[in-house]
Structure 1
Amino acid sequence: MSRRKLSPGERWERSQRREAIALIVVSGIFVLFGGILALTGEVVAILVILFFSGCLLAGIMRLPGVSARTALLACILSCFGFAAACAGILILALTGVPFDSAYLSQRTLALIAAVGVVFFGGGGILLAVLAWRNRSGPNAPPTDR
């Protein structure tokens, strides 16, 4: 049985689907791992769950064929998940919780987390406001356009 040759567009869509599914599966495994860590009482587990839940939503957003509304909602939720994880890391770094890292000092970690809160939190708020203003449907406010 011969296989038909895929067009470049079909190959691109398949590769996008594979990448999105890989992101969803790997993120799901880490969310599960974070849940197991939470059962042991590790505080870091909350950050793991928030961060990789954001990754999972980003994977859903990247799936070909997902509606624009669903992708926008996933993007907003993932931005807020990343911002919450960065805020948690920032709080832990500023309160002096020791991080065993050969690469990052507490100040560097706090700075990176603060930048993450500003950009992901601000981006999530901006996307939510734009989505609210551009909504359509029976409950949408009348526009003058």
Structure 2
Amino acid sequence: MIQRWVCGQSNKERLCLESLRTHTLLVLAYQSNNVSPYELWEDTGKLVRSAMIQSLHLDPGYYGAISLFDKEQRRRLWRSIVELNIQSSLAVGRIRVNPSLQEHLVSKLLLLNISEVIEIQGQLLQQCFATADGYRRCQRSVMGEWSSKTRLRWRWREL
């Protein structure tokens, strides 16, 4: 059903992050359900090409108008797509990574450490970004009135 939805989209509809995320999850489902390695390799190739059309392979640090959260989401999605592509290429025996390409891929894949979890009054809250917008969004949505009475310090590590 999801495959029909992804294939039925127009080219314009396919060029959004939500569509790429859905396609990535579909490829992961194929991988876990033992689909033919060649079919998986073809699908990941389509996924890589779609991601490159959206410029996910470029460092999102150059985009000034995008929030830090969106930049990090683009980095993480690109990293997932590259990992799936490498795995499927290895499965069919069609990968040759030279050192310069490997260095290029790794330099673009450095991520912020945002997956730390902190415990506040018995609740586990996923850490938000250290931007004012992310902090306010997290305060309102997760913590409600309690956040105005408490000073929280969000930590994140730059690599």
Structure-1-length-normalised TM-score = 0.40
Comparing both structures, which one devotes a greater share of its residues to helix? Answer: 1
Comparing both structures, which one devotes a greater share of its residues to strand? Answer: 2
